[in-house]
Amino acid sequence: MNRAKFLQDQSSQWSATSDPLGFKRQEAIWELFTSECVYFLDQLMVLKEVFLATLTNLQMRTCLADIDAWRLFANLSELCLVSFGFLNNLLRVIKDSLADVELLCWQAFQQSICHSLQKYCLNYSTALLYLDSLKPREDFGSYVKWCEGNNQCRRLQLRDLLVAPLQRLTRYPLLLRNIARRFRTEEESKDAQAIAEQVDMSICDLEGKVKWLDNYQKVKQLRDALVWLPVWERDKRAFIPETVKHLLKPMTLENLISHRSLLHEGKLVLIENAKLIDVYVFLFDEFLLITKIKRNKKVSNSLRLAQNPELDQLLKEGCTFTVLDQPVSLDRLQLRNIDQFNASTSGLPHSFIITHQNRYQQCIGAFVLQAASEASKRAWLSKIEEAVSALLKLDSQHARVKYASLWLESSQI
C-alpha cells in the first residue's frame, strides 16, 4: 500500500493544512505500523518459515535430529503470533480513524509484547553460544548455508535475524514517544507517554535479569573450578596427625559462592617470600578470593559468552583455581596504595597492599599484589572500594569497622 495514498485516504477528518498536529500523529502511528510489518514479515517470518520450518522438516527425516530448536529459536512462534495480532488490531484502529490507539497499545504491550520479547531475549545469549558450538559440524553448516541462500533472507545471515527481536524491543519506546508528542491534550499525551515508560521499565527489568543470569552461569561454572585446601595443607604450621584428621572433616565450601555476585576478576602477581607468584583474584560482593591457577589437560565444554575472555579461556582449558588463603571478608579488608615513589624504590610498580583484619582489629594477613599496569591497579582499587562501601551500606545490622579512608598511601603506613 502506498504511504501517501493511505494517509490521504485516512485523513478525511484532518489534513496537513487544517489539522497539522493530527496529520503528524497519523504519520507517527503509520511509522509504528509499517516498521512492525517489516519486523514481522522480513525478520520473524523469515526465521520461522525459512530456518525453523526447514529444521523441523529435516528432523522429521532424521537429519539434524540432535539439534535443539528451542535453544536456537526460543519462543519464535509466540513472537510471530503476538506481532501478527498487534498488526491486525493496529490496522483496524487506523481504519477507524485512530480512535482507540492508546488503549490498544497499552493492552498489547502490557499483556503480550513485552512478556514474549523478554522471554526471547533471555535465551538470546544461549542461542548464540549454541550456534557457535554447532559451527564445526558440516551437516549443520550446510543447513545454515542453504537457508541463508534463500531470497527471503535478502543476504542476511542467521545471526542478523536472531538479534532482530532485541533491536525491535529497544525501538518501541522511540516510536511510542513520537506518537505521544502528537496528541492534542496533555492528558492524552501523558497516557501515551506512560506506555513508552512501561516498555522502558520492561527493558530495564530485562537487563537486570540478563545480568543475574550471566552471573549465575559464571558463578556456577566457577564453583566447580575452585579448590579449597584443608587447613593442614593451607597452613604449614598446623600439624594434624594422620590418625585424627578424620575428626576435622572438611566443610563443604562449594556453596560459599553460589548466591554471590562476581564484581571483578583478573590476573595479578602476588609477592610472597621475595617471589613473584601469578594469581587469579575474584572480587565477590562480600569477600575477596586469592587463588593460584592450576592448568589441567582436561578441556571443559563450557558455553558462556566471553564477558572476560581471559577467564573464559582458562575455564575452557579446564583450569582449576586453588584458594591460597581464607576468603578476605570485605568488612575486614583495608586497601593501602603503594605510591609511585615507594613503588619505584622497592621495584614493585603498579602495586597495592590488601590487609585482612580479625574482629579484634589485628592484622592476620597481608598481600602485596602487583597489576599489569597503572590503569589496571586503579581499576582494582576502585572496584574493591565500591564493593566495601556497598556492603557496609547494605549491612547496617552488624557493627562494622569504620575507616577514615580506604585508600592509604604508603607514606601513611
Amino acid type, 158: L
pLDDT in the model for residue 186 = 77
CA–CA separation, 220 and 277 (whole Å): 26
CA–CA separation, 280 and 175 (whole Å): 46
Query: What is the set of domains in the chain, with CATH numbers?
Result: 3-223 (1.20.900.10), 250-412 (2.30.29.30)
pLDDT in the model for residue 308 = 66
Residues of the chain with pLDDT under 70: 1-21, 97-99, 236, 249-255, 297-308, 396-413
CA–CA separation, 60 and 256 (whole Å): 46
pLDDT in the model for residue 28 = 86
Classify residue 249 by its DSSP letter: P
Amino acid type, 272: E
- Widest pairwise Cα distance in the chain: 98
Q: How many CB atoms lie within 10 A of CB 253?
A: 13
Residue 29 near residue 179 (C-beta atoms within 8 A) = yes
Residue 179 near residue 28 (C-beta atoms within 8 A) = yes
Which residue in the block uniquely carries the three cell numbers 545471526? 159
Alpha-carbon distance values, 176 to 30, 39, 140, 306, 406 (Å): 11, 16, 40, 34, 46
CA–CA separation, 35 and 50 (whole Å): 21
